[in-house]
């Protein structure tokens, strides 16, 4: 079955950096687009970034553009999110999520999430 396991969350100071990873299994990783979606404590879902199945195109929410970078290593079945210049408002649970197709559609499956806390 599909498994998405996020790691790399933790506490970081404002202005700091963090890299999240998502280990995927149970499906042909290189055939599907992948998303990062976040949820601030007690708040709703916010789409963060998407990468096509082959890594050829990457898209970002305006709130993270220029600070976050999504990437993937299809040889390792792993998705990444490099987060720089972190702000307090980036505090959230970050979910790795599998797209229904390769180029951006519904979110098929979600990981359990990893908590990122930006605080001094």
Partner 1 sequence: EIVLTQSPDFQSVTPKEKVTITCRASQSIGSSLHWYQQKPDQSPKLLIKYASQSFSGVPSRFSGSGSGTDFTLTINSLEAEDAATYYCHQSSSLPFSFGPGTKVDIK
Q: Quote the tokens at residue 94.
A: 């970050």
Least Å distance, CB 95 to partner 1, is 6
By three-state DSSP, how is residue 92 classified?
strand
Half-sphere exposure of 12 (CA within 13 A, CB side): 22
Taking CB under 8 A as the binding criterion, the range among 24-32, 69-77, 79-87, 101-109 that sits at the site for partner 1 is: 101-109
**What number of chain residues touch partner 1 (CB under 8 A)?**
23
Q: Which of 59, 71, 84, 102 contacts partner 1 by CB under 8 A?
A: 59
35 binds partner 1 (CB under 8 A): yes
Q: Which is nearer to partner 1, 62 or 75 (CB)?
A: 62
Per DSSP, 45 falls in state E
CB 96 within 8 A of CB 4: yes
CA dihedral 28, 30, 33, 38 (to 10 degrees): 80
Q: Give the residues lining the site for partner 1 (CB under 8 A).
A: 35, 37, 44-47, 50, 59-62, 95, 100, 104-113
């Amino acid at each position: 079955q599909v498994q998405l396991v996020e790691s790399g969350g933790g506490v970081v100071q404002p202005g700091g950096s963090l890299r999240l990873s998502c280990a995927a299994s149970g499906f042909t990783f290189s055939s599907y687009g992948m998303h990062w979606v976040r949820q601030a404590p007690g708040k709703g879902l916010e789409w963060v970034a998407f990468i096509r199945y082959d890594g050829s195109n990457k898209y970002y929410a305006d709130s993270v553009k220029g600070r976050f970078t999504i990437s993937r290593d299809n040889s390792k079945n792993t998705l990444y999110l490099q987060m720089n210049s972190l702000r307090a408002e980036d505090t959230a649970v970050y979910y790795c999520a599998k797209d229904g197709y390769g180029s951006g559609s519904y979110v098929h499956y979600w990981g359990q999430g990893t908590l990122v806390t930006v605080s001094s």
